[in-house]
Structure 1
Amino acid sequence: MTRRRPTPSADDLLTSLGRLTAQALERAESQKARVELAVALQRELLPAVLPQVPRLRCAARYAPARHGLDIGGDWYDGFRLPDGAVGFSIGDVQGHDVEAAAFMGQIRIGLRAVAAAVEDPGEVLSRANELLLSMDCGLFATCSFLRFDPATSELADARAGHVPGVWATADGDWGVAEHPGGVPLGVLPGEAYPVTTRRMSDTEVLALFTDGVVEGPSFSIEAGIEQVARLVRDAVPADPGELASQVIKVADLTGHTDDAAVLVLSHQAAQGTR
């Protein structure tokens, strides 16, 4: 005689379905809670306002990724320095979770602390790099750090593995700021970061951004940078807030699998100098 396996009853099936549904809801709620925590951290850790100094206006935007927990690693910052200059940073921490958001906050604070004591942007990044390595957290970050002197309109900047920015002037000149840089922060000890120094033109716009703005499954990084370049060229002279809002939308073309940050600096000639 062949023994047949008992057929699950409707009650058994409903019980199993209920258990699986409860587990799925629990995982979904856990994921939702982590996303909300990461969003809250990002909101609290990014600056509420950016410094405005004579002849230079600035604005920034941040956008989370559209899917999953891809949030928390990107940042922008701007702050006044003891000698009257202004420091700016923008960067991207490895990873997209609550830990990345918390680490991003530590980097921002570290950069501010070092920049208050050191003028050279390359030295700022070098010391920040050693600080991150000493923390032994296993994460790294790309970053651009800039120092603007409102008295001379001199802009000095250094890059640590970060995507280059785009600049344009009122006379139609423009370019991608692909000057030499160093490796990301938190990778190699004793790393040096070259500094590029120049005087901003009387009417100039500089757009800085993270790779989440210009790179994704639907867009190559070259295509993304070109798209940003067109926006920047067409915006001079620019309202920095409007331009930042336009640039952050480029992330929608990439597939938006990463969070994204934009920082725009708009330099204007002093009245009576034109």
Structure 2
Amino acid sequence: MTRRRPPRHASADELLTELGRLTQQALERAELQKARVELAEALQRELLPAELPELPGLRAAARYAPARHGLNIGGDWYDGFPLPDGSLAFSIGDVQGHDVEAAAFMGQVRIGLRAVAATAADPGQVLSRANDLLLSMDTRLFATCSFLRFDPATRELSHARAGHVPWVWATPDGRWGLGEDEGGLPLGVLAEESYPVTRRVLPASCAFVLVTDGVIEGPAFPITAGLDEVARVTRAGVHAEPAELAAAVIKVADLTGHADDAAVLVLRHDRPPA
């Protein structure tokens, strides 16, 4: 008969050594994740514009809030820049993914939109050409986007969207609504996609608020409820300065318990004096 040796119990010193090894591994992983989050945040802030352009009659402001936990950061952006014909272009969007790769891709999308808009001011053409440009890069990521052009001569605001969430508008006389304009697929999904353009002449005074889904959607907060809250804040702050309204709207993300990063773009139109 073969006797089995009883199992050897680890000594206290061995347990402490193993505990120390596991603790060190956990700390190294935590430091690595912290470094990646800090890098993504730095990329995001460096790639976003320091200021937005303005014209007599149109002012703009924006806010950005990083995600609260983990690596859910890096994909949201806003932008604004003048076009060669004297009009202004604005964009806001959200890249799929939440890491350093998403932050870098966001920068490529912004640069691509600026480059294309220099030769094709029509928002639908801008999104279509940017879409084909991104597909030619053979990337695995895609992005939702709203692109707008404001013509100061006609006070016309033209808009095209690529899979992005609706915007909210409001006027001082109490009118408001959602800009659920017809759109196309997100950028980077399907080649030769077309993007319809909606054109509207702006009233004497109005505010437009564009957001990414990180503002209006959370773990237990549906997009419709988030849009309703953004609409309430916009109606209440329609007389406020654009920066004040943007700061109020970004706080909606706190209500949703957002796990994603979030961006807000506010355009305020007031007819300039004759």
Q: TM-score range by the shorter chain?
A: over 0.9
TM-score, with normalisation over the residues of structure 2? 0.97
Aligned to 1:128, which of 127, 130, 148? 130
- 2:100: which partner in 1? 98
- 1:43: which partner in 2? 45
Between the aligned partners of 1:84 and 1:206, the Cα distance in structure 2 is 21
The secondary structure found in structure 2 opposite 1:148 is: strand
- 1:55: which partner in 2? 57
Between the aligned partners of 1:17 and 1:268, the Cα distance in structure 2 is 65
For 1:57-113, what per-residue CA distance to the aligned partner results, in whole angstroms no more than 9, with x for missing partners?
Answer: 110000011110110000000001111000000000000000000000000000000
- Quick check: 1:258 aligned with 2:257? no
After TM superposition, give the deviation of residue 4 of structure 1 in Å: 1.6
- 2:113: which partner in 1? 111
Q: 8 Å contact 2:58–2:267 — kept in the other structure?
A: yes
Aligned residue type for 2:67: A
Where does structure 2 lack aligned partners over 5 or more consecutive residues? Answer: none
Q: Identity, % of aligned pairs?
A: 71
Q: Could you list the runs of 4 or more consecutive aligned residues of structure 1 that deviate by over 4 angstroms after TM superposition?
A: none
Aligned to 1:163, which of 162, 165, 171? 165
Aligned to 1:233, which of 227, 232, 235? 235
Q: 8 Å contact 1:218–1:253 — kept in the other structure?
A: no
Between the aligned partners of 2:181 and 2:41, the Cα distance in structure 1 is 33
Bigger Cα displacement from structure 2, 215-224 vs 231-240:
231-240
The secondary structure found in structure 2 opposite 1:176 is: strand
After TM superposition, give the deviation of residue 254 of structure 1 in Å: 1.2
In angstroms, what is the RMSD of aligned CA positions?
0.9
After TM superposition, give the deviation of residue 3 of structure 1 in Å: 2.8
Q: 8 Å contact 1:166–1:177 — kept in the other structure?
A: yes
Aligned residue type for 2:138: D
Where does structure 1 lack aligned partners over 5 or more consecutive residues? Answer: none
Q: How many residues align?
A: 272
- 1:221: which partner in 2? 223
Q: Which aligned pairs between 1:149-228 and structure 2 lie closer than 5 A? A: 149-228=151-230
Between the aligned partners of 1:46 and 1:270, the Cα distance in structure 2 is 29
After TM superposition, give the deviation of residue 2 of structure 1 in Å: 5.3
Between the aligned partners of 1:150 and 1:242, the Cα distance in structure 2 is 23
The secondary structure found in structure 2 opposite 1:157 is: strand
Q: 8 Å contact 1:212–1:259 — kept in the other structure?
A: yes
Aligned to 1:81, which of 46, 65, 83? 83
For 1:159-180, what per-residue CA distance to the aligned partner results, in whole angstroms no more than 9, with x for missing partners?
Answer: 0000010001112111100010
Between the aligned partners of 1:218 and 1:271, the Cα distance in structure 2 is 46
The secondary structure found in structure 1 opposite 2:218 is: coil
The secondary structure found in structure 1 opposite 2:193 is: coil
For 1:131-186, what per-residue CA distance to the aligned partner results, in whole angstroms no more than 9, with x for missing partners?
Answer: 01000111100000000012221100100000010001112111100010001000
After TM superposition, give the deviation of residue 216 of structure 1 in Å: 1.1
Aligned residue type for 1:180: E
After TM superposition, give the deviation of residue 7 of structure 1 in Å: 1.1
